Amino acid sequence: MSKIVMWFRKDLRLDDNTAFSHLLKQSKETDEVMCIFQLNPSQFIKKSYNHDAFFLSVQTFYKELRKRQIPLHFLYGDPEENFTALKETFDDWDAVYFNKDERGFGRVRDQKLADFFEQHQIQIHAYQDSHLHGVEEITKPTGESYKVFTPYYKQWQLRSKRPYKKQQVIERIFPEIGHPLFDEGKKQFNEIIKQIKLPFDYECGETVAEDYLKKFITNGLHEYQSKRDYPLADQTSKLSRFLRTGELSIRKVWHAIQAEPESTGRQTFISELCWRDFYNMIYFNHPKQKDQEIKEQYRELQWHYDEQLFEKWREGKTGYPIVDAGMRQLNQTGWMHNRLRMIVASFLTKDLMIDWRMGERYFQEKLIDYDSASNIGGWQWAASTGTDAVPYFRIFNPTTQGEKFDPTGAFIRMYLPELNDLPNEYIHCPSKMSKKVQESLGFYLGDHYPKPMVDHQKIRPEILAFFKNS
């Protein structure tokens, strides 16, 4: 008999959990399995929606495991110090199972811990679980990594995907280990939960995730292509937050999509799943991308750092309604429609010429579906500094974007109630109202709603020169 550790991280489910499934198959009935969740305070972004939402998901997972008589033990502190103490306490611990991280902080941590496990003769069973294809699975015939999405997508489509395997009834005894080693972790976890104060409802857990998947397939999948860009229609899947916590298996999503008849909506959604793999691969190949532009020629750009302008952007007070509605949706709900993410990112980087890293970090705090690879990829795309990014001369016009994707202004009015009484002809550009019109409406720019903080029509020559002179 030996002790085996199942180390849960961003895989908060039992269903189709690759590492957990392999553990059940490969271990002996007599082996003692300790389920561990390691709390590393250096990763915390306290008082952020991102942090609070994630730990509510951990709490839900903890309770679900308890219902199944599976104790989840918490460790708190530096990962290597925690696992050193665990090995010293349980000398017969000789194997660890986990779903690995392939990029960013998690990748560095896993590499460091792998050395520790090997030094202590602890067998490592690490698996790629979070994506349909791992970071090194889709390459050019030469073995090089792709830098452009379209050829990557063509290869990605040809590759078979791992099947979804529903978790069967678990006939296994998991010991409740009442050891002082876990006391601090449990105490710290309870303190984290106690301090969570999200200003919106947050549903989480495997069951909720499955419900969202079913609703999307029934009501949104086949119209995804035609309606996904309209924030009022809200035809996006809303699955991203469950994928980032691992409450939903990506293979379960793939299996459900494949069972549906062909449609343009279905194919477009499949391409979005590929984008997720693509950005994961890009982060693996550009490990410094959170702080450094991928395109070398843009690493010396003289971005602006005007805190007052940045604050107005954050608060949704730019004077451009579609931008402000998007930012207020983020601030009020912890989520933002994908079309709006592109619009507000373009506005910050192209209209204000503010460093994309400032926007990326704000999104990291506020998004309940924050995924570092996709978020950084999206920001570098908007800033024209990333791989396969939008050309620097393509600058979203916030007014025409609003007119196109929120034609009646209904979404804008939802988040900017101060504009409720504006006629449709002015809802996307209140600054066009004459003084006479403002008087007739009892609505005054600068008092009831900000004047535009920049003149978008005049910014184009500046941004072109900004990039050309880099």
CATH number at residue 371: 1.10.579.10
224 is annotated as contributing to ligand binding: yes
Q: Does one domain contain both 124 and 136?
A: no
239 is annotated as contributing to ligand binding: yes
pLDDT at 172: 84
- Which contacts of 145-152 are long-range, i.e. CB under 8 A and separated by 24 or more positions? 145/281, 145/285, 146/278, 146/281, 147/282, 147/387, 147/388, 148/387, 148/388, 149/274, 149/275, 149/278, 149/388, 152/274, 152/278, 152/281
d(CA 78, CA 43): 10
Asked if 282 and 313 touch (Cβ cutoff 8 Å), the reply is no
pLDDT at 234: 85
pLDDT at 29: 84
276 is annotated as contributing to ligand binding: yes
In which domain, by residue range, is 113 found? 1-129
- Whether 148 shows a pLDDT value over 80: the answer reads yes
Q: Does one domain contain both 138 and 277?
A: yes
Instruction: Name the average pLDDT for the chain.
Output: 96
Please indicate, yes or no, if residue 197 is contained in any of the structural domains.
Answer: no
Q: Does one domain contain both 102 and 238?
A: no
Please indicate, yes or no, if residue 114 is contained in any of the structural domains.
Answer: yes
Q: Which residues are catalytic?
A: 272, 275, 303, 338, 356, 379
240 is annotated as contributing to ligand binding: yes
363 is annotated as contributing to ligand binding: no
pLDDT at 276: 98
pTM beyond 0.85, yes or no: yes
Q: Does one domain contain both 97 and 212?
A: no
Backbone φ and ψ for 468, nearest 5 degrees, come out as -65, -30
What tens digit of pLDDT does each residue of 97-140 get? Answer: 999 999 999 999 999 999 999 999 999 999 999 999 999 999 99
Q: Does one domain contain both 87 and 3?
A: yes
16 is annotated as contributing to ligand binding: no
Crossing angle, helix 104-119 and helix 79-89, to 10 degrees? 30
279 is annotated as contributing to ligand binding: yes
pLDDT at 312: 98
Please indicate, yes or no, if residue 174 is contained in any of the structural domains.
Answer: no
Please indicate, yes or no, if residue 352 is contained in any of the structural domains.
Answer: yes
Query: What Rg value do the Cα atoms of the chain yield, rounded?
Result: 24
Asked if 42 and 112 touch (Cβ cutoff 8 Å), the reply is no
Token readout for 123 is 């067998």
- What DSSP state is assigned to residue 348? I
Question: What is the number of structural domains in the chain?
Answer: 3
Q: Is 229 exposed, middle or buried (0-12, 13-18, 19+ CB in 10 A)?
A: middle
371 is annotated as contributing to ligand binding: yes
What tens digit of pLDDT does each residue of 356-399 get? Answer: 999 999 999 999 999 999 999 999 999 999 999 889 999 999 99
348 is annotated as contributing to ligand binding: no
Q: Does one domain contain both 303 and 440?
A: yes
Question: Which of 262, 285, 308 is the last residue in one of the domains?
Answer: 285
Mean predicted confidence (pLDDT) in 301-305: 96
Please indicate, yes or no, if residue 198 is contained in any of the structural domains.
Answer: no
419 is annotated as contributing to ligand binding: no
Give the CA-trace dihedral at 351, 355, 356, 357, to 10 degrees.
Answer: -160
* CA 160 distance to own-chain centroid: 25
439 is annotated as contributing to ligand binding: no
The residues near 134 (Cβ < 8 Å, ≥ 6 apart) are 102, 128
| pLDDT over 90 percentage in the chain | 93
Confidence of residue 30 (pLDDT cuts 50, 70, 90): confident
105 is annotated as contributing to ligand binding: no
State the pairing for strand pair 123-127/93-99.
parallel
**Torsion 136-359-343-130 (CA) sign:** positive
278 is annotated as contributing to ligand binding: yes
What tens digit of pLDDT does each residue of 227-250 get? Answer: 999 999 989 999 999 999 999 999
CATH code: domain of residue 116: 3.40.50.620
Asked if 5 and 97 touch (Cβ cutoff 8 Å), the reply is yes
Question: Which of 234, 264, 285 is the last residue in one of the domains?
Answer: 285
| Selection from 274, 294, 455 nearest residue 383 by Cα | 294
d(CA 397, CA 263): 31
Please indicate, yes or no, if residue 59 is contained in any of the structural domains.
Answer: yes
Confidence of residue 169 (pLDDT cuts 50, 70, 90): confident
What tens digit of pLDDT does each residue of 414-430 get? Answer: 999 999 999 999 999 99
Asked if 367 and 333 touch (Cβ cutoff 8 Å), the reply is no
Please indicate, yes or no, if residue 175 is contained in any of the structural domains.
Answer: no
| Selection from 46, 243, 207 nearest residue 129 by Cα | 243
Q: Does one domain contain both 403 and 338?
A: yes
pLDDT at 297: 94
Confidence of residue 171 (pLDDT cuts 50, 70, 90): confident
- What DSSP state is assigned to residue 351? I
Q: Does one domain contain both 449 and 393?
A: yes
Q: Does one domain contain both 234 and 349?
A: no
The residues near 328 (Cβ < 8 Å, ≥ 6 apart) are 316, 415, 416
Q: Is 423 exposed, middle or buried (0-12, 13-18, 19+ CB in 10 A)?
A: exposed
132 is annotated as contributing to ligand binding: no
Please indicate, yes or no, if residue 255 is contained in any of the structural domains.
Answer: yes
Question: Which of 129, 155, 190 is the last residue in one of the domains?
Answer: 129
Instruction: Indicate the SS3 state at residue 94.
Output: strand
- Whether 470 shows a pLDDT value over 80: the answer reads no
pLDDT at 168: 79
**Nearest 5°: CA angle at 323, between 357 and 305?**
35
- Whether 25 shows a pLDDT value over 80: the answer reads yes
State the pairing for strand pair 93-99/3-8.
parallel
Q: Does one domain contain both 377 and 238?
A: no
d(CA 55, CA 73): 15
| Selection from 136, 170, 126 nearest residue 9 by Cα | 126
Residues paired with 93 in a beta bridge: 3
Q: Does one domain contain both 4 and 114?
A: yes
